[in-house]
Structures are given as C-alpha cells and as structure tokens.
A and B are shown apart, each in its own frame.
Chain A
Amino acid sequence: MNEFEDLVTATRRGLFCKAGDFYIDPWLPVETAVITHAHGDHLRGGSARYICTDAGEAVTRQRLTADARVETMAYGESRSVGDVRISLHPAGHILGSAQVRIERDGVVWVVSGDYKRDADPTCAPFEVVPCETFISEATFALPAYRWPETQLVAREIFDWWQANKRAGLASILYAYALGKAQRVLAELTRFTSEPVYVHGAVATIVNAYRQCGVEMLPTLPATVAAKADYAGALIMAPPSAAGSSWVRRFGEASSGFCSGWMRVRGDRRRRGYDRGFVLSDHADWPSLLRTIRETCAHRVLLTHGYTDALCRFFQEQGVAATALRTEYGGEE
C-alpha cells in the first residue's frame, strides 16, 4: 500500500478507510461502522458492527434494533483496527458525538462528523486534534451565519415563554429531537425549574440523557394535561410535528423554532414560525475557519452544506480543499 494513498475516501456506501477496513457513518449497511454521532443522516441501521463513544452508547442503541452489535470506546482511548490506530475525540455536537482520529505511519486524518465550538452543557466540548487532513462539515459555511451567544438566545427563549404566559398563550418550541431539545432544556435551568411538556420523540431521548447524568428541566408528557392547562406552558416538539393535528390540543399558542437557519429572516418566514431562535449544533462561519486553522491541516475535505463556497475560500488562501460527495445533511 502506497503511503501517499488517501486514508479515507468517499465510496458508494460511505466514507471508507481501506487500511482499517471500516466505514465512518456509512449510508448503506457495511461490516464495521465507526459512528461519529447518532443523528439519522450519520447513523443508519443494518451494519454488522458499530463502534461509538461510551457517552454516545445510550442514544446510539436507542436508534438501532435491540440485537445490533455496538462496541464503545472512551474519548481519547486508542485502538488498532487493521493497519491503522483510531481514537475518538469530543466534537461538541451532541451527547457522545465524536471526531474520528485515524493514524497510519505517523500520518493523521481526522473525520469531524458534525461539530460546534459553542459551549453546550449536554456534551463534552470540542477538542482540537492536530492532523494533516481534516474532513469537515460545511452546513453553515457562509459568512452570514454567525451565532449569537448561547446564553443570550436562551434568555430570549425564556422571555418569549414568559411573555406568552402573560398573554395566556401556550409556547410551542420546535427543536430537533436529539440534541437540540435537550440542550434547550439544560440551558433553561439558568432561569427556572418549571416543568416543560415534551413530545414523545423528545421524551425518549430526554430519558437517555438523564441516565447519562445531564441536568435538564423536569419534563412531562405533552399528552397528560387538559387543554386549558397548556395556557402559559412551554411545549417542546420536533419540527415534524408542526402543522399536524398533534399541536391542536394546546389551544392558542405562539410557535418558535430553534435552528441555525433562523439566522435568516426569509427562512423563518417561509417556515411560518412566529419566532426563530438562532441556536445551532453546527459550527458557524468563524468557527469553521478557526477550527480548520487550529488543526493545522494542510488539506481539507468537505462533506456537506455550503461546500463550494468554503472550498473556494480555502483554495484562495492556499489550503488544498475539495468537496466530497456524501449523503449527510438534513437535521438542524
């Protein structure tokens, strides 16, 4: 095997490390799948063997069939797989999310999965892993996407909830069920200890997070109360519930959506939410640039999002950058 050969390539089944004979977040069933995190576009069923972090085990298992074979590694623990050594490092995206470090003959590649640099009480903070080649996401790789401080956004959410309460309205907050919803529930503990009603899809994952010791506001199933009791309450649901008959039970309500896409007014207006809260589990433009600089990578491969813009930007700066064709993207 040639030492200049790429350690990871994009194949029909997913990102493939030939020297270690494993895939990272494959979109078709494979023999060995190393999983960066449990979101649907990165973790798919059907593979013979999964490797993920200790911290991510609970949410990973929840999304696979009961008989799935899942092996775990601690953050920073290193092991040999085929001809390479791999280790998993915090990506700061959601609970248990990891970057995959792959080393062969002193050459290091890092597959970041999705990541962010902002503080998040529900998961370990992103760790910079120096490498020659960095495989990055580019979901929000346009300079318009800069995140406000999380604390300020959490404050906005709380104020919105309280204002709705004064007006006798329910507050229905839509957020991705895995990760974002729990992050909001954790952030809100700064302001209150009032219980929050949650959709079933959110509830299951909240339970898994609690078992891992993440502190969040108390939650109640959003099916127990009578209609009148929802006035003034906060209800959290996945975006797929918006516009469904499920939300009608809450009576008069104001709706909000937590997502990086809410940075853009047109995007919010199109989706029809009253309020948009700019809260993302992905890296914003400054974080993408900073992270790639800090890894000292001289080659960057981009998996999904505004890959063209980021590629060209780096190329003009003298960094070798290419887009990979993957099937990631969708959540957030």
Chain B
Amino acid sequence: MREFAALFESLDTTNSTRLKIDAMVEYFRTAKAVDAAWAVYVLVGRRVKQSVGPALLRAWLREEAQLPPWLVEETYASIGDLAETIALLVAPEGASAMRATAPQISLADWFHQRILPLTGLPSEEQRRRIVSWWHELPYRECFLVTKLLTGSLRVGVSRALVTRALAELFGHSRALVERALIGAWQPSADFWIALAQNESSTLASHPYPFYLASPIEAVESLGARGEWLAEWKWDGIRGQIVRRGAECTLWSRGEEIITDRFPEIIAAASAIESGTVLDGEILAWGENGVLPFAELQKRIGRRTLSSRILKDIPVRFVAYDLLEWQGEDWRPRSLQERRTQLQKLLSPQTVIVLSPAIDAPSWDSLAAERDTARSRGVEGLMLKNWQSVYGTGRQRGGWWKWKIDPFVFDGVLLYAAPGHGRRSNLYTDYTFGVWAGEILVPVAKAYSGLTDEEIRRLDKWIRAHTREKFGMVRSVESAHVFELAFEGIARSPRHKSGIALRFPRIKQWRSDKRPQEADTLANLQSMLPTQR
C-alpha cells in the first residue's frame, strides 16, 4: 500500500500530464502483477461493490472524532469529501511518523484480505475493523483506504492517461490497451499478464470503446449534404450488443452489463449470427413509436421485471452501426460499407431495427426536419460521414450531433448547499424556484454553468444573505435570477411543483433581471408534452 500511496501522492501533486504518465510507468514497472492490476482498476475509476455505506461511516466518524456530532457534520460539509474528513479528524498527521512502522500490506492484499471480506459481516464487526484501520494508518493511507471503501479514487488521471502509460510500458498500441480496459474485467495477476502479453483470450465478451459525437451548430461547414448520413438523435440508453460464441451480452455506455434488464433484445439478438457486434440505442417503444425516456427509466429501476412491465413498456434496440461481423473488426471500414451490411443482417428482425436515414436532400430541408425533433421525442440529429471509420471516444470529424436548442427559463436562487471535491468550502449546489402566485416554488437543482469567478462571488453573497440554515443547506434572500436550460420536462407527483426537469443547468447569471421578472410555474407547465 505504501508504494501505491506514493504513486497517488505523485499523481496528486502535479498538473503535468508527462509527469503523471512517468509516475504510473515507474509504479507499474516495479509492482507485482496483481497489485498493478488493482492499481489500474482503481486509477481508471472502477470500484468494488460497497460493503459499507457512507451513512454508516459518517456515524462511526461521529463516534470516533471526540467532537460534538454537529461539528463533525459541519466539518464534513466544509471539506466536501468523507474520506478526507475522516483522515483529517481521526488520523492526524502528527502521529504519522510513529504509525509508519505498522506492517505493510500490498494494495491487492488490502482488497482481498481486508476490504472485500467486509461484505456480509455484521455491522458491529465491520465497524471494529474499519475504525481500527483509521486509528492505525498514517494520514495518507487512512485517506486512501477510506476512499477505496467509499467509491472511486478521482486522482486527476483519466482512463486515456492510464491507457497511454500502459501503452508506453508494454509497447502496445493505445487502441489495444483501450480494448483491454473496457468491459467487465477482474483485477488479477492473470489479467495483468494477459495485458502485458497481448493475449486477447481474456477479452471474449468485451465490447468496443464507444465512438462519441461532438456538438455542431454550423452544419454548412460540413460540405456537401450528400457526404453525410443523417439520423435521429435518439433519447434512450446507448448500448452495444456483443454476440460471440454461444454468448450474447448487452453493454451500456457506462460499460455495465445490462443483459438481464432487456430479455426481449437478448432473445432477438440470439438469432443473429455469432461474431457480430452492434452499436445502437435502447428505447421504450409503444404502438405509436418511441416513448419518453421516463418510461424507459421505469424498467431500469426495477429489481425484477414482471411480465406486466415487459408488456406495458416494450423496448426496441435501434441499431446504427456494425462494429464486428463474422468475427472480424469492421471499425476501420467505411460507414457506407458497415451500414449496407447492417441493413442486410437486420432485415428479418423486428425488435432490433435499423435506425432510419433521414431523407432530406439539402441542409435547409434537413434543418426543417430537425425542427420536428421535439414532437417526435428525439433530441435532434446525428450527422455521420459516409466515408468515416468507427472512431474511439470523442474523436472529432466523423460524427456530429446537431441537437435542438434546450428549453430555458428564468429562476430565482432559493437555497444553496456546499459542494464536494474541488468545490469544497464553497456553496455551489443551488436550488432555483419560479413563481406560483405570490410564492416561489423550487423546480430545479443545478450545479454547473457558472465560472469560477461567479461561483466565488455568489458564495460570498450567499454567506452574507442567509435567511435560515437547515443543516448544511441555507435559504437565501430572493434576489438573484438565473437563466436555466434543461432537456426535458415531465409531470411528477413526487415534486412539490408537480414537474420534474431533465438535466437542468445554469446558462447564465441574469444580474440584469429582478426576481419579479422570473418565470412562473404556469410558463413551465405550458412546456409539458401533450399526453400521448
């Protein structure tokens, strides 16, 4: 663990990409295979199943800190990171020199012997073990171990950066490493050795890295309309069907296996020839076409799928790309070629269907089609170059998303709560309201959209104009108006306002507007879709 803690420290104390890669390569060169595998696992942001929830850790911290419980909570709210708060309050650095002599346990052993076995233990036993780590470990390791218990590491390295380090270390191409890191691999010495020796046998059900589109506004800059395929930008769950050997696996974009959520898609996919990988969108699909995302969510949320829900919310997989055919990687082929083959293989299918091409001969006529997007329940258009290969990640040029403009409204800042991580010590989690008669009702929470400068200014104002405190949340004077954008709106009996907004974010601070000029609830209600 000490070596990994040192790596963490190196990564955490530089903003230089080069130095970060060097530090990783150096660590991997000397680490044991199983430790290296675990290090990759946590560096790319994966986490083991949580054996202890944050609420319990917080309760134990309150008991261990020898401080009034409210003060522990206040400190946590200010620091914005539970593991760090625990390390700061329970494992003070002063004693670390003495503690550093504690026996050394490797990163992999930490997981195999200590963290993973916590699952299923009575909570009193979990408490005994975890609390003893807090008291035994030096500050940095206490922070790290607790961080690994509570979730992902977030140390300022992306998967792309880990990929670069591993590619350099082994002399592999980045694409090869990328493929190995995707999907549901287990951190083990075998994984590491297979990666080092470039053995693809461990990659049996692996999906390919998803190709992501970049936003575009000025479509005329793309050249001739005829060079581009236009499709609807579906509002569902991006997925990959991997059909290899006797297996059929459905992957989400978050690289989770969601096979058991969608049995009808799997049944349909099983009829497809082995050695095929499809990219597409999972959509809830009723008699009159695509259903709102909220309907699809009902299926994701269920623990078990009743036959009733399968009947009420049928789904389709709208396929738009063919990544593998007859066991061969088709990503380097042109979209033209991939789509022709895709169309052929899907022709007998009903649940897995081809994403239709939009037949509009000019950019102008396409723009007119785009204007119908909202009424069709889609997010806009996708534009894909007929000659393009299937790229990796957000490579620009081949795929563009031409989204419809979001909904906007003006809301009044009502509440603020302290942020987390980088935003520790600042009030950055805001709640906004609109007018319902004489009162402001909360309709949206938003965390993003302001510049650092604006955040600092607003934080100062919030502290000076607090009306009331409810725990960590402050209600503030109704003074500031913000323009908020959002992607969708639905009725919601769970919210006081009766509506729920999808992906609300701050568009701009309207310091030119007075609170009386903010929108009304009736305005928002008028944006609700008519019931289908």
Contact = CB atoms under 8 A, between A and B. Distances in A.
Task: Say if A and B assemble together.
Answer: yes
Top 6 nearest A-B pairs (CB, nearest first) are: A266-B424, A144-B88, A270-B422, A142-B75, A269-B422, A274-B14
27 contacts: A142-B74, A143-B71, A144-B78, A144-B88, A146-B93, A148-B93, A149-B94, A254-B14, A261-B425, A264-B79, A264-B84, A264-B88, A264-B424, A265-B12, A265-B84, A266-B80, A266-B422, A266-B423, A269-B156, A270-B422, A270-B423, A270-B424, A274-B16, A309-B74, A312-B71, A313-B68, A313-B71
Contacts of A143: 65, 67, 71-72, 75, 88-89
Nearest to A278: B93
A306 B70 CA distance: 14
Interface in B177-201: none
A267 B424 contact: yes
Interface in A119-154: 142-144, 146, 148-149
A316 B74 CA distance: 15
B297 interface: no
Interface in A242-257: 254
A146 B92 contact: yes
A264 B71 CA distance: 17
A313 to B, nearest CB: 6
The secondary-structure label for the interface of chain B is: helix
A266 B74 contact: no
B15 interface: yes
A144 B79 contact: yes
B421 to A, nearest CB: 5
A146 B78 CA distance: 15
A146 B70 CA distance: 19
B25 to A, nearest CB: 15
Contacts of A144: 75, 78-79, 85, 88-89
Nearest to B12: A265
B457 to A, nearest CB: 14
A272 interface: yes
Interface string A276-317: 000000000000000000000000000000100100110010
A263 interface: yes
A264 B425 contact: yes
| A142, A254, A316, most chain B CB atoms within 10 A | A142
Contacts of A265: 12, 81, 84, 424
Contact of A266 (B13, B15, B68, B81): B81
Contacts of B452: 270
A143 B16 CA distance: 32
Nearest to B68: A316
Nearest to B93: A148
Nearest to A145: B88
Interface string B410-441: 00000000001111111000000000000000
Nearest to A255: B15
A272 to B, nearest CB: 7
A309 B71 contact: yes
Contacts of B72: 143
A312 B70 contact: yes
Given A148-B93, A265-B12, A142 B423 contact: no
Contacts of B71: 142-143, 309, 312-313
A104 interface: no
Interface in B42-92: 65, 67-68, 70-72, 74-75, 78-81, 84-85, 88-89, 92
A51 B13 CA distance: 44
A18 interface: no
Interface string A147-188: 011000000000000000000000000000000000000000
A44 interface: no
Contacts of B84: 264-266
A250 to B, nearest CB: 15
Contacts of A261: 425
B381 to A, nearest CB: 37
A274 B424 contact: no
Given A264-B79, A265-B424, 8 more contacts: A142-B78, A143-B88, A144-B89, A269-B156, A270-B423, A270-B426, A272-B15, A313-B68
